[in-house]
A and B are shown apart, each in its own frame.
Chain A
Amino acid sequence: MNEVLLIDPSKCTGCRSCEVVCSMVKEGEVGIYNSRIKTQRFPDEIFFLPRVCFQCDSPYCIPACPSEAISKNRESGVVTIDAGLCTGCSLCLDACPFGAITMPHAVAVKCDLCGGEPECVKYCEAEAITYDTPREISRDKKNVIAVLRKLGTLD
């Protein structure tokens, strides 16, 4: 099984380091609204939830794309969007149950695991984001999904 980004919200302090680093790496700019990873902050509840693509085995986004711009690499496990094929119709944004696809510019973008060395992980000393095989902490991953469902609309 391939390594993916695993999230443990109980360890997240809501600092948004992952977002600003992602923005710098992927967009070459300092920002938090153009990153592939998003941390939803609930300061009242003191609950912080980083959201990022799980690189699903059967991704919801792939069949939703009318221009077949999204594909999953069976070897690396990474789900990627071909910017050349993407028409910016945003159907994949709706299809993803986790809000993991965004469209800061004309085309949809998502986490590609930085080619196997995800930068956000290096900046998360809290270890709320780790890069590992899902089997190891699959229970935590299920917790995230449960929390996401409970929270309902996130975007």
Chain B
Amino acid sequence: MPGGYIGKILRVDLSKGSITEEGLPPDDILRKYVGGLGLGLKMLTDELPLEVKPLEPENRLIFMTGPLTGTPVMSANNTTIVCLNGETGYTVGASHSHGYLGPYLKFAGYDGFILQGAARTPLYLWIRAGKVELKNASHLWGKDTHEAEDMLKEEVGDQGDTAVATIGPAGENMLCGSLISNERYHLFSKASVGAIMGSKKLKAIVIDSRGGKPFHVNDGPALLKTALEWRKSALSPVVWSSLGPKGTHMSRWRYNADHPPKDCFVRAGKYTTAVRNLSDPELSPGWRLKIRTGAVKFKVTPVACYNCNRACTYSAEVTEGPFKGYVATLTGGGETFEASAGLIGVDEPGAAFFLCDYMDRMGFDSSTPGSAISLAYECYERGLLTKENTDGLELKWGNYEAAKELLDKIVKREGFGAVLADGPKEAAERIGGDAPKYVIHVKGTSMNMHDWRGAWGTLLGQCIAGAGPCWQAPGVDAYAPEPDLGYPELSEDPISADGKAEAVWKTQCKKLWEDCIGICWFAAWSVPGSLDFERRAIAAATGWDDFTVDEELNVGKRIITLQRIFNMKRGMTVENDLDVGQRLLDPPDSGPGKGKAFGDYLPGMVKEYYSLAGWDPDSGEPLPETIEVLGLQEEAPDL
């Protein structure tokens, strides 16, 4: 077995109640797919029958680490779930989370585990070094993610060395957009993985690292040397989320009063913050400033993931306003604030922090219910909905109390909540009238929430991502350039179609390779020299000394095309890549993109992207020579 891998995975069949150990595939397969997303996708493609639906017992949740997970390389803490996507129903699902789960899993003796089948009564999976059990979780069913985590930690006698991942009520009720919370700060939030876990009646996964064993890498000193140089490069000013001065962590720096508020607009562009269902981009800068000005007074404490010097995760105690004293446990960037508060015009900072945290507690990725809720707010403001339709709730911009009540109704599929419970596209059709004109969605579900009409490359990336809307193809229009791919600066014209398909294609190859090796994307995104650091780290860990940067990008390309094959076998067509909510396609009424319609250019950009990927530009079908070059003949027999 190459270094960096344990060489063992678990298969947990919840229908049978059986737990078995299996080996990893042979070296040639490992080198082709490496780990994480790639290896998980290869396994899923090989064993998932075509006719299976996402919430049926046969669907898999494949948790997979990479060869660098757990190692001294910066932020080497990734675990990826691969499954049939619970939101789209016909694409791959890919969901990443960090924290301690992946490293602890490897110390407990496994590279990953496959969940399949469905239990009759609620269970949780308890993984310890040398002992793996399914335990009764009836007492945890119905608890929110934070309560369930606390109860489980108490139950297993945690002393700070246990990772607990749980679903909330949203996952138990198998709702669109439900997530798996990984120690409350880190969330597997894409592809409705929470609903799939709920359909299997598995409430939680507990990984206890105590008594675990260290693992082997091929060349420790070389790995350490690379790790240290990589960390230094990650502090380079080009990187979007570098540490503040004197080692201030990302989370603390974001809310540092000395950090001029205007700086927080520089990287993302002034008008990309998602506010009021994207109805008026001019409101974007003001909302952002108000939240941030309030939040700098909150008590922010960084809580880092395993081996990470960024510490983008943090606890925040609200220190003033109606939510004074509330402690929220949050991660990373602004997406969740925009999805749960910005979209409905909530600009009370404490309320915004509360709503983000409440989404986590209920077990929701905020963007999916957030987009459905914000659609309802806009329809209400426009008179399309009245109190009679909304169970008496007054859905006026900024009403956070109504948003909480509405979310509770969605979780229970109760009254008006049931209208919104199956994603924003479905909600628009159910509300009827002009509602489909206002809806934000990509492939029926929601995206990583910012107003990407101010960054067309990134929006294109959300539309063509093979795992449904997610961060698979960032482009170079917002937040961070990608110097290793020939983009030392952000693009000059983010609101245009020129060169977007190419930037999206190139950044996707890099990102999907990085999704395989076991690191957090924040350790690699826009870091100068990252491709070479990754090559050296993989060589040092596994012993693949002749691994090249081209081979890295080829792993990315292989995954992109294998995702396409997986999706097309399940009926996906070009139409699905153009299945985008009208609000995103239509020209904004204000802001810098005023009058320019992304929708007019989307079909052309999609065609251009298909050509770059080596697919037929009209049908999106991978060309025979592409399949041959990438070595996917076995995976694509009937295309």
| Interface residue from A17, A29, A46, A119 paired with B307 (Cβ < 8 Å) | A17
| Interface residue from A16, A43, A125 paired with B303 (Cβ < 8 Å) | A43
Q: A11: which B residues are within 8 A, CB to CB?
A: 247
| Interface residue from A24, A34, A46 paired with B220 (Cβ < 8 Å) | A24
| Interface residue from B183, B223, B235, B308 paired with A15 (Cβ < 8 Å) | B308
Cβ of A20 under 8 Å from chain B: yes
Contact A119 to B224, CB < 8 A, known contacts A15-B308, A32-B107, A125-B309: yes
A24 touches B160 (CB 8 A): no
A126 touches B249 (CB 8 A): yes
Q: B215: which A residues are within 8 A, CB to CB?
A: 29-31
Cβ of B53 under 8 Å from chain A: no
CB pairs A–B below 8 angstroms (5 shown): A24-B71, A30-B106, A31-B214, A41-B160, A126-B309
Q: B228: which A residues are within 8 A, CB to CB?
A: 122-123
| Interface residue from B209, B210, B214, B315 paired with A30 (Cβ < 8 Å) | B214
A33 touches B214 (CB 8 A): yes
Q: B247: which A residues are within 8 A, CB to CB?
A: 11, 125-127
B214 touches A123 (CB 8 A): no
Q: B209: which A residues are within 8 A, CB to CB?
A: 32-33
* Smallest Cβ-Cβ distance to B3: which chain A residue: A30
Cβ of B301 under 8 Å from chain A: yes
A13 touches B307 (CB 8 A): no
State the Cβ distance, A78 to closest chain B Cβ, in Å.
Answer: 21
Q: B305: which A residues are within 8 A, CB to CB?
A: 15
Complex Cα–Cα for A62 and B231 (A): 38
Cβ of B216 under 8 Å from chain A: yes
A13 touches B107 (CB 8 A): no
Complex Cα–Cα for A24 and B219 (A): 10
- Count of chain A residues near B, Cβ 8 A: 31
State the Cβ distance, A21 to closest chain B Cβ, in Å.
Answer: 5
A20 touches B220 (CB 8 A): no
A16 touches B306 (CB 8 A): yes
Cβ of B294 under 8 Å from chain A: no
Cβ of A23 under 8 Å from chain B: yes
* Smallest Cβ-Cβ distance to A41: which chain B residue: B160
Task: Flag A23-52 by CB within 8 Å of B: 1 or 0 each.
Answer: 111011111111000001111101000000
Cβ of B243 under 8 Å from chain A: yes
Q: Report whether over half of chain A's contact residues are helix, strand or loop; otherwise say mixed.
A: loop
A42 touches B160 (CB 8 A): yes
Cβ of A14 under 8 Å from chain B: yes
| Interface residue from B224, B243, B249, B306 paired with A24 (Cβ < 8 Å) | B224
Q: B309: which A residues are within 8 A, CB to CB?
A: 15, 17, 123, 125-126
A30 touches B224 (CB 8 A): no
B72 touches A30 (CB 8 A): yes
A15 touches B306 (CB 8 A): yes
* Smallest Cβ-Cβ distance to B185: which chain A residue: A43
Complex Cα–Cα for A32 and B215 (A): 10
Complex Cα–Cα for A31 and B249 (A): 25
- Count of chain B residues near A, Cβ 8 A: 42
Task: Flag B138-177 by CB within 8 Å of A: 1 or 0 each.
Answer: 0000000000001000000001110000000000000000
What are the 8 closest A-B residue pairs judged by CB atoms, nearest first?
A: A31-B214, A41-B160, A13-B304, A15-B304, A29-B214, A125-B309, A13-B311, A17-B307
State the Cβ distance, A5 to closest chain B Cβ, in Å.
Answer: 17
Cβ of B295 under 8 Å from chain A: no
Cβ of B302 under 8 Å from chain A: yes
A23 touches B304 (CB 8 A): no
Complex Cα–Cα for A11 and B311 (A): 12
Complex Cα–Cα for A15 and B160 (A): 12
Q: A31: which B residues are within 8 A, CB to CB?
A: 107, 212-215
Task: Flag B270-313 by CB within 8 Å of A: 1 or 0 each.
Answer: 00000000000000000000000000000001111111110100
Q: B227: which A residues are within 8 A, CB to CB?
A: 21, 123
Cβ of B474 under 8 Å from chain A: no
State the Cβ distance, B108 to closest chain A Cβ, in Å.
Answer: 11
B224 touches A25 (CB 8 A): yes
Q: A42: which B residues are within 8 A, CB to CB?
A: 160
Q: A13: which B residues are within 8 A, CB to CB?
A: 249, 302-304, 311
Complex Cα–Cα for A43 and B150 (A): 11
Q: A29: which B residues are within 8 A, CB to CB?
A: 214-217, 220
Choose among A15, A17, A40 the residue with the greatest number of B CB atoms under 10 Å from its CB: A15
Complex Cα–Cα for A148 and B545 (A): 46
State the Cβ distance, A106 to closest chain B Cβ, in Å.
Answer: 16
Known: A32-B103, A33-B212, A127-B247. 17 other contacts (CB 8 A): A13-B302, A15-B309, A16-B306, A24-B71, A24-B217, A24-B220, A29-B216, A30-B71, A31-B213, A33-B209, A42-B160, A122-B228, A123-B228, A123-B231, A125-B243, A126-B249, A127-B246
Complex Cα–Cα for A13 and B252 (A): 11
Cβ of B70 under 8 Å from chain A: yes
Complex Cα–Cα for A16 and B183 (A): 16
State the Cβ distance, B234 to closest chain A Cβ, in Å.
Answer: 10
Q: A30: which B residues are within 8 A, CB to CB?
A: 70-72, 106, 214-217
State the Cβ distance, B307 to closest chain A Cβ, in Å.
Answer: 5
A14 touches B213 (CB 8 A): no
| Interface residue from A14, A24, A32, A125 paired with B223 (Cβ < 8 Å) | A24
State the Cβ distance, B316 to closest chain A Cβ, in Å.
Answer: 11
Q: A16: which B residues are within 8 A, CB to CB?
A: 306-307
* Smallest Cβ-Cβ distance to B228: which chain A residue: A122
Complex Cα–Cα for A148 and B183 (A): 25
B160 touches A123 (CB 8 A): no
A43 touches B183 (CB 8 A): yes
State the Cβ distance, B560 to closest chain A Cβ, in Å.
Answer: 30
Residues B526-561 near A (CB distance < 8 A): none
* Smallest Cβ-Cβ distance to A11: which chain B residue: B247
Q: A21: which B residues are within 8 A, CB to CB?
A: 72, 224, 227
Complex Cα–Cα for A89 and B227 (A): 36
| Interface residue from A20, A23, A40 paired with B160 (Cβ < 8 Å) | A40
Residues B74-99 near A (CB distance < 8 A): none
Q: A123: which B residues are within 8 A, CB to CB?
A: 72, 227-228, 231, 309
* Smallest Cβ-Cβ distance to A128: which chain B residue: B247
B214 touches A46 (CB 8 A): no
Complex Cα–Cα for A43 and B186 (A): 13
Q: B246: which A residues are within 8 A, CB to CB?
A: 127
Complex Cα–Cα for A42 and B303 (A): 11
Complex Cα–Cα for A71 and B214 (A): 29
B231 touches A125 (CB 8 A): yes
State the Cβ distance, B332 to closest chain A Cβ, in Å.
Answer: 15
Residues A108-129 near B (CB distance < 8 A): 119, 122-123, 125-127
Task: Flag B96-129 by CB within 8 Å of A: 1 or 0 each.
Answer: 0000000100110000000000000000000000
State the Cβ distance, A10 to closest chain B Cβ, in Å.
Answer: 10
Complex Cα–Cα for A44 and B146 (A): 11
B72 touches A46 (CB 8 A): no
Q: A24: which B residues are within 8 A, CB to CB?
A: 71-72, 217, 220, 223-224
Choose among B71, B103, B161, B214 the residue with the greatest number of A CB atoms under 10 Å from its CB: B214
Q: A46: which B residues are within 8 A, CB to CB?
A: 301, 303, 315
B214 touches A23 (CB 8 A): yes
A20 touches B71 (CB 8 A): yes
Complex Cα–Cα for A23 and B209 (A): 15
